[in-house]
Amino acid sequence: TPARFTLDPAFGIGAVHPRLYGSFVEHLGRCVYTGIYEPGHPQADTDGLRRDVLELIRELGVTTVRYPGGNFVSGYRWEDSVGPREERPVRLDLAWKSTETNEFGLGEFMDFCAKTGMEPMMAVNLGTRGVEDALRLLEYSNHPGGTELSDRRAAHGAKEPYGIKMWCLGNEMDGPWQTGHKTAEEYGRLAAETARAMRMIDPGLELVACGSSASSMPTFGSWEATVLEAAYDQVDHISLHAYYEEIDGDRDSFLASAVDMEHFIESVVATCDHVRARLKEKKRINLSFDEWNVWYQKRPNPHQVEDWQQAPRLLEDVYTVTDAVVFGSLLIALLRHADRVTAASLAQLVNVIAPIMTEPGGPAWRQTTFFPFAQASTYGRGRVLRVDVDSPTYPTARFGDVPLLHATAVMDDESGDITVFAVNRSQTDPLPLEIDLRGVGAHTVAEHLALADSAPEATNTADRPDRVTPRPATGTAVTDGVLHAELEPLSWNMIRLT
């Protein structure tokens, strides 16, 4: 039996916010050093940024970039990272038991953003630091001039203020692993007071409060409610973080990871709106899904890493075709909630659980997960249409019966073009798909690209960087207002209709 759905422009979810296609650069492993920054590399520009990596970031279509952490931010001393390089101190990074040279700092990050056209999304340290330091960093970054800190920025070569609009109030403060970990009450007060003070400098900021670091946290749900009760007026977003992996060979459940992600999003929306009702507030809090990905956290690191190394090989997951299909399904989950998920960050950008990999002194290449992101960022712009699938299901141990089809559709209201993103979760069978297009008028198939492989474990590596790429699918056509396609087993698909 085919999977089916109907598209009608009268039934929309919401506009896709460009910030949905954000990513994340943390001082972690080789994300910064030998990832984006490697002076002496044959591809390095005059600032030490790798041109091959900059090119891939542009191709990936990343809109915003969260920085400098992650767990790293909870010990971050931003002033160590600015000014003359030779005077910058070398510090211990407690989060990743590494050594931070501060060779790449705030100014270099802003240059990196300018060169790639990405909007910075800065995090303040609410682990070892607090209100005063957040104000100092904000003044250094955004005040035009005439004060000690803003003049210091100008003296460091940036006469114009950075104008950073979006700020995260700490990172994963609910996690016992976090330096300066806090209870919900402690964090809620601190977030509210930090936000209130930051807005005294710049009322136009957009501020993100920390939600739970996973929906499996024991405090999930009550953490969000307590934090928002304290900080509702002062913040615009609450954060969500989620990572998925195949556990004990249960691939069927892994392929259904987005069921968990959608449930997570809907639970946080409900909590935000519950607090809104209790406080008799008008505005709504939106969601910043500022860490999401596939991450094999349970696997041991294949690289020998001693403590306190500089740029060690950490979290260098190599993604398969299967991972890319799950990854695409996570993107679909975000798009299906575009009305409330108005920012998201793929964690992370280079080398560390990343779509782009590099070798020091060597090449840069695209992982399998690169492709769904690049396609969605290029074509998933406009308004998300409501997609209610009628699909055959398959049994999973974690989520019960799950539809084989996971899909969304985005319409460009100006051109009328529609892009469908769809995943077939079956490991064994092709899935016939029928989309009723009569509500959207005459359309023809411009392109159907599929990411699938007879070897679902296939990966891209330095030796074979193009082993896995999307390929055109055949036979997709519109007849009498109905699109007919066949989705390969275990596949991610993009179908463009004009």
Active-site residues, by number, are: 172, 291
The Cα 365–Cα 43 span in angstroms is 13
How far apart are CB 176 and ligand AHR at their closest, in Å?
A: 12
Contact with ligand AHR (CB under 6 A) among 70, 188, 328, 470: 70
Q: Which of 64, 71, 194, 253 binds ligand AHR (CB under 6 A)?
A: 71
Among 66-74, 76-84, 106-114, 132-140, the segment contacting ligand AHR (CB under 6 A): 66-74
Residue 140: CB minimum distance to ligand AHR, A: 23
Binding ligand AHR (rule: CB under 6 A), the pick from 12, 61, 69, 382 is 69
C-beta of residue 390 within 8 angstroms of C-beta of residue 407: no
Query: Site mask, ligand AHR, residues 418-447, x = CB under 6 A?
Result: ------------------------------
Binding mask 330-359 for ligand AHR (x = CB under 6 A): -----------------xx-----------
Closest alpha carbon to 66 in 35, 95, 37, 31: 31
Among 100, 108, 172, 317, binds ligand AHR (CB under 6 A): 172
CB of 441 to ligand AHR, least distance (A): 43
CA 182 to chain centre: 24
Measured from the CB of residue 253, what is the shortest distance to ligand AHR in angstroms?
A: 22
Confirm or reject binding of residue 226 to ligand AHR (CB under 6 A).
no
Question: Is residue 26 a contact point for ligand AHR (CB under 6 A)?
Answer: yes
Query: Of residues 6, 23, 64, 171, which one binds ligand AHR by CB under 6 A?
Result: 171
Rounded alpha-carbon distances, angstroms, from residue 432 to 114, 251, 475:
44, 22, 11
Provide, rounded to whole angstroms, the least separation between the CB of residue 78 and ligand AHR.
17
Give the binding-site size for ligand AHR (rule: CB under 6 A): 10
Q: Which is nearer to ligand AHR, 172 or 262 (CB)?
A: 172
Counting contacts by CB under 6 A, is residue 139 touching ligand AHR? no
**Binding window for ligand AHR (CB under 6 A); candidates: 64-72, 195-203, 278-286, 445-453:** 64-72
CA end-to-end distance (rounded Å), the chain: 27
Is 486 near ligand AHR (CB under 6 A)?
no
d(CA 428, CA 431): 10
Residue 65 and residue 48: Cα distance in Å, rounded? Answer: 19
Q: Return d(Cα 400, Cα 253) in angstroms, integer.
A: 9
Cβ proximity to ligand AHR: between 97 and 199 the closer is 97
User: To the nearest whole angstrom, how small is the minimum distance from the Cβ of residue 26 to ligand AHR?
Assistant: 5
- For residues 309 and 93, what is the distance between their CA atoms, to the nearest angstrom? 10
| Residue 174 interacting with ligand AHR (CB under 6 A) | no
When the beta carbons of 44 and 247 are compared against ligand AHR, the nearer one is 247
What is the three-state SS of the chain? Answer: CCEEEECCCCCEEEECCHHHHEEECCCCCCCCECCCECCCCCCECCCCEEHHHHHHHHHHCCCEEEECCCHHHHHCCHHHHCCCHHHCCCEEECCCCEEECCCCCHHHHHHHHHHHCCEEEEEECCCCCCHHHHHHHHHHHHCCCCCHHHHHHHHCCCCCCCCCCEEEECCCCCCCCCCCCCCHHHHHHHHHHHHHHHHHHCCCCEEEECCCCCCCCCCCCHHHHHHHHHHHHHCCEEEEEEEECCCCCCHHHHHCHHHHHHHHHHHHHHHHHHHHHHCCCCCCCEEEEEEEEECCCCCCCCCCCCCCEECCCCCCCCCEHHHHHHHHHHHHHHHHCCCCEEEEEEECCECCCCCEEECCCCCEEECCCHHHHHHHHHHCCCEEECCCCECCEEEECCCEEEECEEEEEEECCCCCCEEEEEEECCCCCCEEEEEECHHHCCCCEEEEEEECCCCCCCECCCCCCCCCCCEECCCCEEECCEEEEEECCCEEEEEEEC
Q: Phi first, then psi: what are they for 51, rounded to 5°?
A: -65, -35
Of 67 and 162, the one with the shorter C-beta distance to ligand AHR is 67
In DSSP terms, 408 is beta-bridged to 421
Kindly tell me which of 7 and 349 has the beta carbon lying closer to ligand AHR: 349
291 binds ligand AHR (CB under 6 A): yes
Which CB, 208 or 494, lies closer to ligand AHR? Answer: 208
Residue nearest to ligand AHR according to CB distances in the complex: 70
State the minimum distance, in angstroms, from the CB of residue 131 to ligand AHR: 22
Choose one: 48-56, 69-77, 264-272, 367-375; the region binding ligand AHR (CB under 6 A): 69-77
Q: How far is the CB of 250 from ligand AHR (least distance, A)?
A: 23
Q: How far is the CB of 126 from ligand AHR (least distance, A)?
A: 13
Closer to ligand AHR by CB, 70 or 211: give it: 70
Segment lying near ligand AHR (by CB under 6 A), choices 65-73, 134-142, 162-170, 419-427: 65-73
Minimum distance from residue 74 beta carbon to ligand AHR (Å): 9
Query: Which residues in this chain contact ligand AHR in the complex, by CB under 6 A?
Result: 26, 69-71, 171-172, 213, 291, 347-348
